[in-house]
Amino acid sequence: MRGLPVTGGYRYAPQLIDGLPTFEDPETPFMNNDVFIRVDLMTERVEAIKGGPGGILYSNGLGAVVNYITRTGKQEFEGGYKIELSDYGLVRNEAFVSGPINKNLTFALGGFYRISNGMRDVGFTADNGGQIRGNLVYKSDDESTVIETHALILRDKTAFYQNIPFTIPAISQRGTPENPTIIDQDNIQSVGINFRDGALTSPGLRYFELLDQNGRKSVDIADGINPEFDISTIKFSKELDSGWKFGAGLRYTTGVSGFNAIFVDPAVERERFLSQRANNEINNPAFVAAQNCDLDDVRLTGYFSGINQSNCGANLPASTLAQFVQQFANYDRVQANYLDTGKEVTDAQYLNLPVPFITTVEADSFSGDFRIQKSLNLAGKHDLTLGGYVSNYNYDMNFQAALLVSDVSENARLIDLIAVDANGQQVGPSLTDRGVLVPSLFGQNSDAAFRGYALYALDHWELFDNRLKIDMGVRWQKLDVDVVTQPLELRRNLTPSDVEPGSTEDTLADNLVNLPGDPRFQEKSYDAFGWSIGGNYSFTNNFAIYGLVSDSFRLPSPEDVVFRGSATNQTSPSGSVELNQVERILQIEGGTRYFSREFDAALAVFYNDFSARDRASAYRDFTDPSCAVPSGVSDLADCPIVDQVFNEGVSNIGVEFEAGLRPTFLEGFELKGSFVYQKPEFKGTSRTDVRAIVDSLGTITGYEFTEVNSDGRRPQRLSEILVNVRPSFDFKPTTGLPLTIYGQMLYFSDRFASASDIDVTVFPSYTEFDIGALVNFTEGLTGQVHVNNLTNAVSLTEGGTIGIDNRTTDGTRNFGVGRPLFGRIIRASLTYRF
């Protein structure tokens, strides 16, 4: 949505079904609005409101509101069936049937079921599931009373696709705001995975085990995004003879959603990777233990010999890490073995540390919307709406991330790491546990309850013979938040009691497992008041000007309070960090519209200002004496946490031009398109961060403080220029053929990988072409063929920053990760309606 400081999210653009949210807040961790929305033959149409009244009538609708209208029954029987196939193994079936039960009561029932291998080849069934929904509608004889009941059962599973590793020619310096690293699309090379249809996710990475407070937890990454929800709705409207109209809508949603996905870091050459693991997981921690005379440390007892009470600490006869390893190590190197065969990895050029996100969300949501409407004449015609809104929703999340070890290929496999001597015999504990390096890296458990209340009023006023139309509205909203969070920060050694620490039966993976810490509480209320006024004046029947000004708000989302709120922050010397999380939004827009049989156009100029709201972040103070070591590198996890609060706001100014052309000399041809130019900029984002210092082999040699400042910078993933061109040609008016062909060209200008001023990286512009055709074989039988990414272009839509230290051994290329477009995809469908 142009003008908004987000891409791919729903923070300011809720998705509704029949005017009510499926879950109250559209921005919810691991459960955004798109988890609930599935379009099928039971979807009659889709409506959208951009700004203005949308932010008055609906919660969080200040950017846009998209409303999916469900098909209901009529007094004639109707039905339909659709089958869709694709070149990636998709088989999707849709159906519906509707009609009368009696003269006042109708029904509709339908849904879909689909199965596919996925738009990227993951080696197993990627998508499997569907939904069924139905409704009953009662209308009185005079249709003044309408009662609707709806039920929807969603049981679906879809794969989550993430970044893919790549390399670019070596960079000579870190990217800065003044001189960013600019990626050239022509110089990108894949690293073991095809950009068009490949994925690191594979059967070899499908199953693994993590550790949590309850013990071992089995994971099947094929569970993907897995919503299982039941949604019930009742709607009522009554129109009195006096013209007053009363309406109410109630919805209750309950269920569970899973999010199992693997995120990918840049690849590392095998020998370099193993050297990093030896230094970071074994050598440096053992060196620090020897300096502290921690003689029971398993890294010291498992991989080194000759260290005792008489030669540790100040008496240690090794002043550098290299001297320490040379004198006392009893292992030769770290070896990588495939988990499934146990054989040493010799054929993989690159290794990786995939990061699985494993999440289960239990949620329920109740929402109720109540409206009174009346039309009256007073200096013109007024359509008044007065409303009240209530919501009650709960969100319980269990989120855990981990670190795996794998090769980098389209059939990636889990890898175990062990230390071996010169004869290839294992020495000391394994570094991994069945392919898992860190079974609980970070995460959080949360139990959140929200109560919302709102009052709103909207007046649609028409005067001067309906030439001038004005929408004026106000909304007040309150949100009560009661949240308990437990970040996974309690470090525990979960080595089984029957395993001897430091032996070859032991593993380092279970030595430091992050478990839920002490609960943190946040009980708080937020409220805000907003208003909007917009007008449209028609000079003629086909030419008008319009303007809009709104001062609206965004109350905290579950994302804000669960991950960024006071309850999630560490306790500082002055107490818990308190944040101002109510966001104020000023929107100003004006433009012109013209339409005729042959041509229509619209020009808009817009300005948005999203106020700087508080954000909390924390860093580890590696200079604190509590974690200082005489030599070597401190374990950052042992250093105290420093809280900080910074502000983050965004302003944006831009212009949008939309047009449509339908020339009379070429009947059936239509050309539509839009062009957007915008200048979004951050403000108030300065904060401190900690960055690891690494040597030429990628080994951590220390840490440094960095000041991160994004002021004046464009938010990540946002393009300045957006172009959308959509030509179509209907052959029937000129040839009688019931055939329509169409196409689309999408252009996105360059985008920043992140908003920070460290390792500033710019991904190049890209263009995507789609084409398709529609054929009406008979009045009820329609066929369609659609081709995405017609040119099979390799384009990175987003990605991570390029670090100067992460490069190939020969120094000629740097590693990165990015999310490419899907390669060319062909879909075909056949729809029959009666």
Kindly tell me if the per-residue pLDDT of 693 is higher than 80. no
Beta-carbon neighbour count of residue 242 at 10 Å?
Answer: 7
Beta strand 761-763 with 181-182 is parallel
Kindly tell me if the per-residue pLDDT of 614 is higher than 90. no
pLDDT, residue 578, reads 65
- Residue 534: pLDDT band with limits 50, 70, 90: very high
- Residue 462: pLDDT band with limits 50, 70, 90: very high
Q: By C-alpha distance, which of 243, 19, 233, 76 is closest to 144?
A: 243
d(CA 483, CA 559): 12
d(CA 318, CA 111): 71
d(CA 572, CA 570): 6
- Which helix or strand (DSSP H or E) is residue 34 part of? none
Contact 176, 757 (CB under 8 A): yes
d(CA 79, CA 107): 12
Distances (CA, A) of 379 to 217, 385, 545: 69, 18, 21
How large a percentage of the chain has pLDDT more than 90? 79
In a domain, residue 727? The reply is yes
pLDDT, residue 259, reads 97
d(CA 432, CA 509): 5
Contact 435, 447 (CB under 8 A): no
pLDDT, residue 62, reads 85
Number of domains in the chain: 1
pLDDT, residue 8, reads 59
Residues 6+ apart with CB under 8 A from 625: none
* Structural domain containing residue 791: 163-185+719-834
In a domain, residue 827? The reply is yes
pLDDT, residue 648, reads 76
For residue 323, the SS3 value is: helix
Task: Calculate the dihedral angle through the C-alpha atoms of 582, 583, 586, 591, rounding to the nearest 10 degrees.
Answer: -130
Residue 627 burial class via C-beta count within 10 angstroms: exposed 0-12, middle 13-18, buried 19 and up: middle
In a domain, residue 301? The reply is no
In a domain, residue 822? The reply is yes
d(CA 640, CA 618): 10
Beta-carbon neighbour count of residue 308 at 10 Å?
Answer: 10
- Residue 388: pLDDT band with limits 50, 70, 90: very high
| 716 or 80, greater pLDDT | 80
In a domain, residue 752? The reply is yes
pLDDT, residue 565, reads 58
Q: How many residues are given for the chain? A: 834
pLDDT, residue 567, reads 42
Q: Buried b / exposed e across 513-526, counting CB within 10 Å, b at 16+? A: bbbbbeebebebeb
Kindly tell me if the per-residue pLDDT of 433 is higher than 60. yes
Whole-number mean pLDDT of the chain? 92
Least confident interval from 196-210, 447-461, 573-587: 573-587
pLDDT, residue 698, reads 66
In a domain, residue 784? The reply is yes
- Residue 576: pLDDT band with limits 50, 70, 90: low
pLDDT, residue 641, reads 79
- Residue 640: pLDDT band with limits 50, 70, 90: confident
Contact 370, 389 (CB under 8 A): yes
SS3 content of the chain, % helix, strand, coil (to 5): 10, 55, 35
pLDDT, residue 628, reads 78
In a domain, residue 449? The reply is no
DSSP string covering 577-606: PP---PEEEEEEEEEEEEE-SSEEEEEEEE
pLDDT, residue 447, reads 96
What is the sign of the dihedral through the CA atoms of 407, 808, 798 and 689? positive
Residue with tokens 């300096």: 291
Contact 557, 27 (CB under 8 A): yes
| Structure tokens given for 810 | 């020969």
| Structure tokens given for 15 | 């998705």
Residues 6+ apart with CB under 8 A from 135: 70, 72, 73, 107, 108, 148, 149, 150, 151
CA angle 537, 541, 543 (to 5 degrees): 55
Q: By C-alpha distance, which of 575, 583, 584, 447 is closest to 523?
A: 447
In a domain, residue 825? The reply is yes
Kindly tell me if the per-residue pLDDT of 209 is higher than 60. yes
pLDDT, residue 375, reads 94
Print the SS3 string covering 75-115.
CCCEEEEEEEEECCCCEEEEEEEEEECCCCEEEEEEEEEEE
Task: Calculate the dihedral angle through the C-alpha atoms of 186, 190, 191, 194, rounding to the nearest 10 degrees.
Answer: 180
Contact 336, 230 (CB under 8 A): no
The model's pLDDT over 345-360, given as tens digits with 9 standing for 90+, comes to 998 899 999 999 999 9
CA 195 to chain centre: 20
The model's pLDDT over 127-146, given as tens digits with 9 standing for 90+, comes to 999 999 999 999 999 999 99
Task: Calculate the dihedral angle through the C-alpha atoms of 683, 684, 689, 691, rounding to the nearest 10 degrees.
Answer: 20
The model's pLDDT over 145-203, given as tens digits with 9 standing for 90+, comes to 999 999 999 999 999 998 999 999 999 998 888 899 999 999 999 998 999 999 999 99
| 49 or 774, greater pLDDT | 774
pLDDT, residue 1, reads 61
How large a percentage of the chain has pLDDT more than 70? 96
Beta-carbon neighbour count of residue 727 at 10 Å?
Answer: 16
DSSP string covering 255-289: EEEEEEEEE-PPPEEHHHHHHHHIIIIIIHHHHHH
pLDDT, residue 612, reads 73
Residues 6+ apart with CB under 8 A from 771: 741, 742, 743, 744, 786, 787, 790
Contact 191, 168 (CB under 8 A): no
For residue 432, the SS3 value is: coil
Q: Buried b / exposed e across 274-292, counting CB within 10 Å, b at 16+? A: bbbbbbbbbbbbbbbbbbe
- Which helix or strand (DSSP H or E) is residue 562 part of? helix 558-563
